[in-house]
Amino acid sequence: MSKIVTLQQSIMAEDERFAAAIRESNERRGLLMVNMIGSPGCGKTTILERTAQSSGLSFGVIEGDLATNRDAERLDRLGVPVVQVNTHGGCHLEANVIEKAMESLPLDSLDVLFVENVGNLVCPAEFDLGEDFKAALLSTPEGADKPLKYPYLFSSSKVVLLTKVDLLPYLPFDMKMFSEDVKKLNPEAPVIPMNGMTGEGVEEWTKLLREKIREKKAHAR
Amino acid sequence: MSKIVTLQQSIMAEDERFAAAIRESNERRGLLMVNMIGSPGCGKTTILERTAQSSGLSFGVIEGDLATNRDAERLDRLGVPVVQVNTHGGCHLEANVIEKAMESLPLDSLDVLFVENVGNLVCPAEFDLGEDFKAALLSTPEGADKPLKYPYLFSSSKVVLLTKVDLLPYLPFDMKMFSEDVKKLNPEAPVIPMNGMTGEGVEEWTKLLREKIREKKAHAR
């Protein structure tokens, strides 16, 4: 196992230079960047669709998938500027690809740039893309035991979006354990319950984004 | 990106020797080995619990998780011989770890050895553990678009277990698209609809396992 760790570290060192360059360029612009991380099908694209429909924010999206353009097409239909990155087997996005993708987006006219990472709770959490913060998404059917099983994502994110709360009546989801486990890993992170079908939670999510955007713009150089 | 691919390939070449050794040892014993791959919370452990309760098969389990022993404890409570492997950030299991874990299991008294891989549709599909076949698990809340988005897992598995079918009435799951996409990627693989709450599908899954066990034992050297 030690061999693998060494290799990952050397990739990361290489990639940290790209992440630092992205961070600096976003700071100059006052552009907020959010790295959205969650399992396949947890609702990442749906939350972005709802955000497009009701937040009033101007945002762009970099979509990461192993294959297909389906998610990018969903956002494009709503008029969101979007770049699809297909990783062809790669389990996460890396900063060098993000830098390239950003060249195709109208960055100066955006309030926020979302990266929808590859559906995976593990590897995407470990790679810095130059973002301001990570948002961890968990859908209720995945189960309340996931924060402790994927601790790095939940401890390193600034907000936890609990999606598909409309399914709670049909699921053995222990909300008390979930909330306690998230608090143990990350006492500061708010948990926002969301329902992509009705738009529940989008208002709270938008409020959090507006605060972060304001802070970012205030510090633009 | 080319750098990463090269690194993965060299790890894999190393690991293929372990996988080959495991495959040979299982062939001598006539022991079937199944690599269970699916997202976090898709129901991998629940399906193994139901299999323990009603299949009549004698099996052992190697549990892969980033952290915690929760899944191993669930199976241990049912009397299933189980070894927990914590990968501490690793997004998949590798054959060298499987070989070590197998030393702690009563292999001669088992019909089948299950590996419950780390919850992830990407990396686990790319690493050969010496198994006879992979089982791809998808839970209905993850969405019908996942086979085309994670094509390697679905094209390289011998069976697809569609879990949590009890939630279908509450979900926008396009069963026709799902079935067609799976067929496109993998015309031979049966899709077994399962419900871990009621045990639906366990009989068909057990039947498939019994066939594979019979073939394996017939070819034991």
How many distinct structural domains can be found in chain B?
Answer: 1
Classified as helix, coil or strand, A136 is strand
How is residue B200 annotated by DSSP? B
Contact check, Cβ <8 Å, A142/B97 = no
Q: How many residues comprise chain A?
A: 221
Question: Facing residues of A135 across strands?
Answer: A36, A159
* Cα–Cα distance for residue pair B213/B23, rounded to 1 Å: 14
Tokens at A109, concatenated: 């006219």
| Greater pLDDT, A184 or A86 | A184
Q: What is the 3-state secondary structure (H, E, C) of B129-150?
A: CCCCEEEEEEEHHHCCCHHHHC
Chain center to CA of B74: 17
- Average pLDDT (A146-174) is 97
Touching check for A143 and chain B: CB below 8 Å?
yes
Per the CB < 8 Å rule, is A70 touching B167? no
The pLDDT value recorded for residue B61 is 96
CA B152 to chain centre: 14
Q: Is B39 in contact with A142 (Cβ distance < 8 A)?
A: yes
- Per-residue CA distances from B178 to A28, A41, B9, B141, B149 (Å): 45, 13, 31, 12, 11
Contact A120, A39 (CB under 8 A): yes
Residue among B71, B74, B149 with most chain A CBs within 10 A, to mutate: B149
pLDDT band at A14 (very low <50, low <70, confident <90, very high): confident
- Chain B residue numbers with beta carbons less than 8 Å from the beta carbon of A122 are 66, 89-91, 118, 120, 123
pLDDT at position B2, please?
Answer: 27
Q: Pick the closest to residue A26 from A123, A161, A129, A121 (CA basis).
A: A129
Which two structure tokens, joined as six digits, stand for B9? 């390939």
B65 touches chain A (CB under 8 A): yes
pLDDT of residue B6: 34
pLDDT of residue B12: 63
Percent with pLDDT over 70 in chain B:
95
A44 at interface of B, judged by CB pairs closer than 8 A:
no
Which of A86, A91, A184 to probe by mutation at the B interface, max B CB count within 10 Å? A91
Output DSSP code: residue A195.
Answer: B
- A125, closest residue in chain B (CA to CA): B89
Nearest CA distance, B32 vs chain A (angstrom) = 26
Sole residue written with tokens 């994502």: A153
Rounded mean pLDDT of chain B? 92
Q: What is the pLDDT of residues B9-63, one digit of tens each?
A: 455 677 889 999 999 999 999 999 999 999 999 999 999 999 999 999 999 999 9
Q: Can you tell me the mean pLDDT for A180-196?
A: 98
Task: Give residue-wise pLDDT tens across range B105-156.
Answer: 999 999 999 999 999 999 999 999 999 999 999 999 999 999 999 999 999 9
Q: Which structural domain, as residue segments, surrounds residue B195?
A: 2-218
Is B199 in the A-facing interface, judged by CB distances under 8 Å?
Answer: no
ipTM over 0.95? The verdict is: no
Which residues, 6 or more positions from A66, have their beta carbon under 8 angstroms from its beta carbon? A86, A87, A88, A89, A90, A118, B122, B149, B150, B151, B152
Which CATH number belongs to the domain containing residue B48 in this structure? Answer: 3.40.50.300
- The confidence band for A12, taking pLDDT boundaries of 50, 70 and 90, is low
| Per-residue model confidence (pLDDT) at position A146 | 97
CB count within 10 Å of CB A207 equals 12
Query: Please, which residues 168-187 of chain A have a Cβ atom closer than 8 Å to chain B?
Result: 170-171
CB contact under 8 A, B152 and A89: yes
Q: Cα A190 to chain center, whole Å?
A: 15
Distances in whole angstroms, Cα of residue B64 to Cα of each of A114, A200, B53, B56? 31, 35, 21, 24
Residue B1: pLDDT over 70: no
* Nearest residue, CB atoms, B120 vs list A122, A143, A167: A122
| pLDDT score of A89 | 82
